[in-house]
C-alpha cells in the first residue's frame, strides 16, 4: 500500500461513515504502521487532496506520529506530542459532527494510543517527570469527555454519550497510575447518573467496575467494593486469566475484611498464595504469623497498593485470638489480663494493659465483639445468651 | 502547576539581577504611596506579593531578585522579623507569609533549577509548618489555617517533585536529612490520604527506613488500622516540626477514641477513671480533657467529686456532630525548645 492508496481508502471509508474501519487505519497497533511508505513527516498537501476536513487534521497528526515513531532511534517524545495534536483534532471533529456518533471509534483508538504513548515515554525517558505526561494525556482525554458528556439532547442511538465510559476507563488508568484518585469522583458521578449505564459493552463495564471497586476499597466502603469487584470478577471471561487474577488481588482482601476467608484451591489456581497464608494466620489468631506473612510478601502488597488494606485485617487476628481465649475460659466475665497474656504469647511482646483495653474497645465498637468493658474490675463482660463473637460476615455496617 | 516549563532551560526565562530585598521600582512606588508595612519602617523594604498579570514574562530583570538575594530575604525574614517579640505571631506571620509568597512567585518566574528551588522552599515549608501548629487555636479572623495548610501543601508537593527530579535526572543535589523531614511532614499533614501513604511506602529503603520517616509510616499504618494507642505513643517520638504537624491530627484521633470508648465502656454505673483517659489521649491538662468531654456531650463537669471518681460512658450520649479543637502539646513544645527556632526553620542546624 502506498500513501495515496492509504489516503484514498480513508477518504472512501469516511464517505461511507465507517468509523470503526477508519479507527483501524489510525491505530498505533494497526497493521499499516510499519509500512515505510507512510512514514512521511509532512504529507499535508496529499492528505488534503484525499481526505476531507475535519478528518484531514487527524490523519496529518497520525502520519506525523508514525514518522517520529519510526525514526531511528524512535523519537517517542515527539510522537507523543503529535498524538496529542491528533486527539485535539479529534476533539474538533467531534464538535463538527453534531448529533451523530459513528465517529466514536476514531476517538477510542486515538485516546487509548495517547495514553499508551505517554506511558511509553515515561518508562523510557529518564528525564520525564513522573506522571507529568500521563496527566497531560488525561487532560486531553478530558476535552473529549466534555463533548461526549455534553451531548445530552441527541437521541440515545446517536448520542456521543455512549463514548463516555470508554474515556472514563482510560482516565481511570491514568489516575490510578499517577495516584490521583480524587479525580475519579466526578467521572464516577457522571457515569452513575446515566440512564443507560447498564447497556455499555460488558468489557467496558468490567473495567469500570474494577476501578470503582478499587476506589471504594481505598475509601473503606467495602460493601460497594465487594459488589463492584465481584461483578468484574464474575463477568470477566476465563480466558483472560491475568485480568481475573488482577481483579482477585483486590477482591480477596475486601472479602476477607468482610469476613469471607479465601479457599486454598482458588488461591492456588490464581497463583496468589499470599492470601491463603494470611487467612491461615488470621484463622488461628496468630498475630506473629500474620506479621511474618506481611513481611514475606511486603513487596507484593506494596506494588499492588493493598498494603494498608491487608494491615487492616490484623484486627481479625485479634478477634480470633480473643475468641479462643473466651472458648477456653468459658466465662462471661473475662479478665483482660487473659487477653494480655494471649497477646504476649503470640508475639506482641511489648504490649501493655492500656493497649489491650484499646484493642478490646475497638472490637466492641466495630461490632466484632458483643459486650462491655468494666474498667474498675479490668474485665470484659459478655452476654450469656448469644455468642459474643458474631460471624464477621453478618456484621452490619462493615 | 509549575511543571509547564520543565523542559526549557533557565535561559528561556528572565534571570533576576536585583541584589536587594526589594527592586528599586517597588521601593519608589511604595514610598511615594506610603505603603510601608510596620516591619519596613526601619527602611528595609521587602518585595510584596502581587498577582502576576498575563504579561509576566515581560517582567524586567531588575525587578526580580537573584537567587542569593532571595536566600538573604528569607534569612532576614526569619532571623529578624520572625523572632520579634513586640507583635503577636499572627501579625508576624501575615507579613512573612506574604513576602515568602513573593519569593515563591519568583521561583516560578525565573524557573530555577530543582536544586535551587528546594533550597528556597525548604525554609518556607518549615515556617508554614511552625505557624500552622502554633497558630492553630487562634480565631479565624486572625489566622486562616485552611489557607496556610493549602500553601504548605503546595510547597511540599513542589519540594517532593524537585527531589524526585534531582534523583531521576541526576542533576544537582539536596540534603538527605532535609528531604526526610519534608517527606515526613507531608505524610503527617495528609495522614488521611491513601495516595500520600502509597507514595511514601514506595520510596526506596534508604529513605523510608530512616527513623523519622519509618516512624511516620508506622503512624500512618496505625492510623488506617485505627490502632490509636500505638500511634499516640509513636507520635511522641517524632522530631520537632514533624511532631508538631502530626499533633494536628490529635483532635480527630481523640474524638474517634472517645467515640469508641462511648460504645465499649457504655454503662450506667461503671466509671472509667479520668486519669486513664487523660494518659491514653495524651492530654497535658485535665481541664482541656474535661472541656472536650463536655463538648462531645460525654460528661458534664457539674460535680467535681463525681468527676474525680471517673467518667460514665454512654453510647447514646456521644455527639458525633460536634468536634473538638486541637491543643498545643507539651511534648512538641519541649522538643521545639531544644532548638534555636530560626536555625531550625532555616535548616541551619542538624534537623534529624
pLDDT values of chain B reduced to their tens digit, one per residue, 352 residues: 444 433 344 456 788 999 999 999 999 999 999 899 999 988 789 999 988 765 555 678 888 999 999 999 999 999 999 999 999 999 999 999 999 999 999 999 898 999 999 999 999 999 999 999 999 989 999 999 999 999 999 999 999 999 988 888 777 899 999 999 999 999 999 998 888 998 899 998 899 999 999 999 999 999 998 899 999 999 999 999 999 999 999 999 999 999 999 999 998 888 899 999 999 999 998 888 988 998 888 887 766 666 677 888 988 888 989 889 888 889 999 999 999 999 999 998 777 7
**CATH of segment(s) A330-394:** 1.10.10.10
How confident is the prediction for chain A on average, in pLDDT? 92
For residue B304, count CB atoms less than 10 angstroms from its CB and return exposed for 0-12, middle for 13-18, buried for 19 or more. exposed
Task: State whether residue A125 sits within 8 Å of chain B by CB.
Answer: no
Inter-chain residue contact A376 with B271, CB threshold 8 Å? yes
Confidence of residue A348 (pLDDT cuts 50, 70, 90): confident
Best A372, A383, A388 residue to mutate vs chain B (most B CBs within 10 Å): A372
Residue A361 has its nearest CB partner, among B6, B195, B261, at: B261
- Closest by CA to A42, choosing from A22, A64, A24, A20, is A64
Residues in chain A: 398
Task: Answer positive or negative: Cα dihedral of A349, A355, A357, A358.
Answer: negative
Task: Answer whether A321's CB lies under 8 Å from A285's CB.
Answer: yes
Distance CA B50, CA B73 (A): 17
- Closest by CA to A368, choosing from A319, A309, A326, is A319
Inter-chain residue contact B3 with A364, CB threshold 8 Å? no
Residue of A nearest to B202 (CA): A302
- Closest by CA to A65, choosing from A20, A9, A135, A113, is A113
In angstroms, what separates the C-alpha of B252 from chain A's closest C-alpha?
16
**In chain A, residues 163-222 whose CB comes closer than 8 Å to chain B:** 179-182, 218
Inter-chain residue contact A314 with B225, CB threshold 8 Å? yes
Q: What does the DSSP 8-state code read for residue B2?
A: -
Q: Specify the higher pLDDT residue, B352 or A348.
A: A348
As given in the structure block, the three cell numbers for residue B140 are 479565624
Residue of B nearest to A257 (CA): B225
As given in the structure block, the three cell numbers for residue B189 are 499533614
Inter-chain residue contact B164 with A129, CB threshold 8 Å? yes
Residue A372 has its nearest CB partner, among B199, B230, B267, at: B267
Would you tell me the crossing angle of helices A76-96 and A104-124 to the nearest 10 degrees? Answer: 160
Long-range CB contacts for residues A33-42, cutoff 8 Å, separation at least 24: A33/A66, A33/A69, A33/A70, A34/A70, A35/A1, A35/A6, A36/A70, A37/A1, A37/A2, A37/A3, A37/A6, A38/A1, A38/A3, A38/A6, A38/A63, A38/A66, A39/A63, A39/A66, A39/A67, A39/A70, A40/A3, A40/A67, A41/A67
Task: State whether residue A124 sits within 8 Å of chain B by CB.
Answer: no
Does A292 have pLDDT greater than 90?
A: yes
Inter-chain residue contact A362 with B259, CB threshold 8 Å? no
Q: What is the mean pLDDT of residues A386-390?
A: 88
For residue B303, the model assigns a pLDDT of 67
In angstroms, what separates the C-alpha of A69 from chain B's closest C-alpha?
20
Task: Answer whether A165's CB lies under 8 Å from A191's CB.
Answer: yes
Residue B195 has its nearest CB partner, among A127, A180, A360, at: A180
Q: What is the mean pLDDT of residues A113-139?
A: 85
Residue A129 has its nearest CB partner, among B3, B197, B310, at: B3
The fraction of chain A above a pLDDT of 70, given in percent, is 98
Inter-chain residue contact A311 with B225, CB threshold 8 Å? yes
**In chain A, residues 321-350 whose CB comes closer than 8 Å to chain B:** none
**In chain A, residues 131-150 whose CB comes closer than 8 Å to chain B:** 132
For residue B10, the model assigns a pLDDT of 45
- Closest by CA to B234, choosing from B222, B225, B252, B226, is B222
Task: Answer positive or negative: Cα dihedral of B314, B315, B318, B319.
Answer: negative
Q: Which residues of A touch B273 (CB under 8 A)?
A: 375
Does A56 have pLDDT greater than 80?
A: yes
Tally of CA atoms within 13 A in the half-sphere of A246 that contains its CB: 15
Distance CA A309, CA A306 (A): 5
Q: First CA to last CA across chain B, in angstroms?
A: 31
Inter-chain residue contact A305 with B198, CB threshold 8 Å? yes
Q: What is the mean pLDDT of residues A295-318?
A: 93
For residue A398, the model assigns a pLDDT of 47
Q: Which residues of B touch A364 (CB under 8 A)?
A: 260, 263-264
ipTM of the complex: 0.85
Task: State whether residue B226 sits within 8 Å of chain A by CB.
Answer: yes
Inter-chain residue contact B279 with A373, CB threshold 8 Å? no
Residue of B nearest to A132 (CA): B3
Domain map (residue ranges) of chain B: 3-174, 190-248, 251-309
For residue B6, the model assigns a pLDDT of 36
Range of weakest confidence among A83-87, A128-132, A232-236, B180-184 = A128-132
Radius of gyration of chain A (CA): 28
Task: State whether residue B257 sits within 8 Å of chain A by CB.
Answer: yes
Does A349 have pLDDT greater than 80?
A: yes
In angstroms, what separates the C-alpha of B266 from chain A's closest C-alpha?
7
How many beta-carbon pairs under 8 angstroms link A with B? 90
Residue of B nearest to A177 (CA): B195
Q: Is B266 helix (H, G, I), strand (E, B) or coil?
A: strand
For residue A332, count CB atoms less than 10 angstroms from its CB and return exposed for 0-12, middle for 13-18, buried for 19 or more. middle
Q: Which residues of B touch A374 (CB under 8 A)?
A: 267, 270
For residue A386, the model assigns a pLDDT of 83
Q: Chain centroid to CA B243: how far?
A: 10
- Closest by CA to A357, choosing from A341, A323, A334, A380, is A380
Residue of B nearest to A368 (CA): B264
Q: Specify the higher pLDDT residue, B306 or A37.
A: A37
For residue B8, the model assigns a pLDDT of 41
Amino acid at each position: 500500500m502506498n500513501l495515496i492508496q492509504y489516503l484514498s481508502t480513508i477518504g472512501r471509508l469516511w464517505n461511507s461513515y465507517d468509523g470503526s474501519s477508519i479507527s483501524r487505519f489510525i491505530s498505533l497497533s494497526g497493521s499499516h504502521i510499519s509500512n515505510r511508505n507512510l512514514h512521511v513527516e509532512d504529507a499535508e498537501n496529499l492528505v488534503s487532496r484525499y481526505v476531507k476536513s475535519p478528518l484531514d487534521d487527524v490523519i496529518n497528526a497520525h502520519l506525523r506520529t508514525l514518522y517520529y515513531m519510526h525514526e531511528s532511534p524512535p523519537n517517542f517524545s515527539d510522537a507523543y506530542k503529535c498524538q496529542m495534536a491528533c486527539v485535539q483534532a479529534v476533539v474538533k471533529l467531534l464538535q463538527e459532527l453534531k448529533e451523530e456518533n459513528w465517529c466514536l471509534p476514531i476517538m477510542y483508538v486515538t485516546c487509548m494510543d495517547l495514553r499508551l504513548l505517554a506511558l511509553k515515554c515515561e518508562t523510557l525517558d529518564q528525564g520525564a517527570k513522573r506522571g507529568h505526561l500521563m496527566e497531560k494525556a488525561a487532560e486531553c482525554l478530558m476535552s473529549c469527555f466534555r463533548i461526549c458528556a455534553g451531548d445530552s439532547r441527541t437521541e440515545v442511538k446517536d448520542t456521543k454519550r455512549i463514548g463516555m465510559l470508554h474515556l472514563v476507563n482510560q482516565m481511570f488508568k491514568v489516575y490510578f497510575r499517577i495516584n490521583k484518585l480524587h479525580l475519579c469522583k466526578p467521572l464516577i458521578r457522571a457515569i452513575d447518573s446515566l440512564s443507560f449505564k447498564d447497556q455499555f459493552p460488558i468489557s467496558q463495564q468490567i473495567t469500570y467496575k474494577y476501578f470503582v471497586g478499587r476506589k471504594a476499597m481505598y475509601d473503606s466502603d467495602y460493601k460497594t467494593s465487594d459488589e463492584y469487584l465481584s461483578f468484574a470478577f464474575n463477568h470477566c471471561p476465563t480466558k483472560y486469566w491475568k485480568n481475573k487474577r488482577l481483579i482477585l488481588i483486590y477482591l480477596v482482601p475486601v472479602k476477607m475484611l468482610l469476613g469471607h476467608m479465601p479457599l486454598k484451591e482458588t488461591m492456588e489456581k490464581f497463583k496468589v498464595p499470599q492470601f491463603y497464608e494470611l487467612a491461615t494466620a488470621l484463622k488461628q489468631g496468630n498475630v506473629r504469623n500474620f506479621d511474618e506473612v506481611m513481611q514475606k510478601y511486603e513487596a507484593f502488597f506494596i506494588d499492588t497498593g493493598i498494603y494498608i488494606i491487608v494491615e487492616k485485617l490484623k484486627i481479625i487476628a485479634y478477634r480470633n485470638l480473643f475468641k479462643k481465649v473466651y472458648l477456653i475460659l468459658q466465662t462471661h466475665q473475662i479478665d483482660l489480663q487473659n487477653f494480655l497474656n494471649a497477646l504476649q504469647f503470640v508475639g506482641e511482646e511489648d504490649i501493655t494493659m492500656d493497649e489491650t483495653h484499646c484493642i478490646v474497645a475497638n472490637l466492641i465498637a466495630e461490632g466484632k465483639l458483643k459486650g462491655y468493658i468494666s474498667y474498675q474490675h479490668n474485665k470484659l463482660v459478655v452476654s450469656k445468651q448469644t455468642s459474643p463473637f458474631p460471624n464477621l460476615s453478618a456484621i452490619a455496617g462493615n | 502547576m509549575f511543571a509547564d516549563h520543565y523542559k526549557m532551560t533557565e535561559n528561556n526565562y528572565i534571570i533576576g539581577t536585583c541584589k536587594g530585598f526589594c527592586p528599586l521600582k517597588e521601593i519608589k512606588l511604595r514610598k511615594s504611596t506610603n505603603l510601608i508595612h510596620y516591619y519596613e519602617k526601619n527602611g528595609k523594604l521587602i518585595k510584596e506579593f502581587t498577582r502576576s498579570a498575563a504579561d509576566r514574562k515581560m517582567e524586567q530583570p531588575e525587578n526580580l531578585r537573584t537567587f542569593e538575594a532571595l536566600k538573604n530575604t528569607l534569612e532576614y525574614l526569619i532571623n529578624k522579623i520572625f523572632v520579634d517579640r513586640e507583635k503577636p505571631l499572627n501579625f508576624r506571620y501575615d507579613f512573612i507569609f506574604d513576602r515568602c509568597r513573593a519569593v515563591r512567585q519568583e521561583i516560578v518566574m525565573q524557573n530555577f533549577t530543582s536544586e535551587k528551588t528546594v533550597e528556597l522552599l525548604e525554609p518556607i515549608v518549615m515556617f508554614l509548618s511552625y505557624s500552622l501548629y502554633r497558630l492553630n487555636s487562634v480565631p479565624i479572623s486572625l489566622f486562616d489555617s485552611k489557607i496556610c495548610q493549602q500553601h504548605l501543601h503546595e510547597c511540599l508537593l513542589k519540594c517532593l517533585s524537585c527531589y524526585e527530579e534531582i534523583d531521576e535526572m541526576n542533576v544537582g543535589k539536596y540534603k538527605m536529612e532535609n528531604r526526610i523531614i519534608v517527606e515526613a511532614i507531608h505524610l503527617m499533614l495528609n495522614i488521611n490520604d491513601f495516595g500520600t501513604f502509597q507514595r511514601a511506602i514506595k520510596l526506596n529503603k534508604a529513605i523510608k527506613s530512616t527513623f523519622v520517616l519509618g516512624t511516620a509510616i508506622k503512624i500512618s499504618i496505625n492510623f488506617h488500622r485505627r490502632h490509636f494507642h500505638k500511634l499516640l505513643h509513636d507520635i511522641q517520638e517524632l522530631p520537632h516540626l514533624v511532631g508538631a504537624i502530626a499533633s494536628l491530627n490529635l483532635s480527630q484521633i481523640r474524638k474517634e477514641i472517645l467515640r469508641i470508648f462511648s460504645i465499649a465502656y457504655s454503662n450506667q454505673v461503671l466509671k472509667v477513671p479520668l486519669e486513664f483517659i487523660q494518659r491514653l489521649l495524651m492530654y497535658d491538662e485535665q481541664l482541656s480533657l474535661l472541656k472536650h468531654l463536655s463538648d462531645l456531650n460525654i460528661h458534664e463537669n457539674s460535680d467535681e467529686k463525681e468527676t474525680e471518681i471517673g467518667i460514665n460512658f454512654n453510647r447514646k450520649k456521644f455527639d458525633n456532630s460536634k468536634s473538638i479543637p486541637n491543643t498545643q502539646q507539651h511534648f512538641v513544645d519541649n522538643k521545639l525548645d531544644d532548638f534555636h527556632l530560626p536555625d531550625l526553620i532555616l535548616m541551619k542546624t542538624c534537623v534529624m
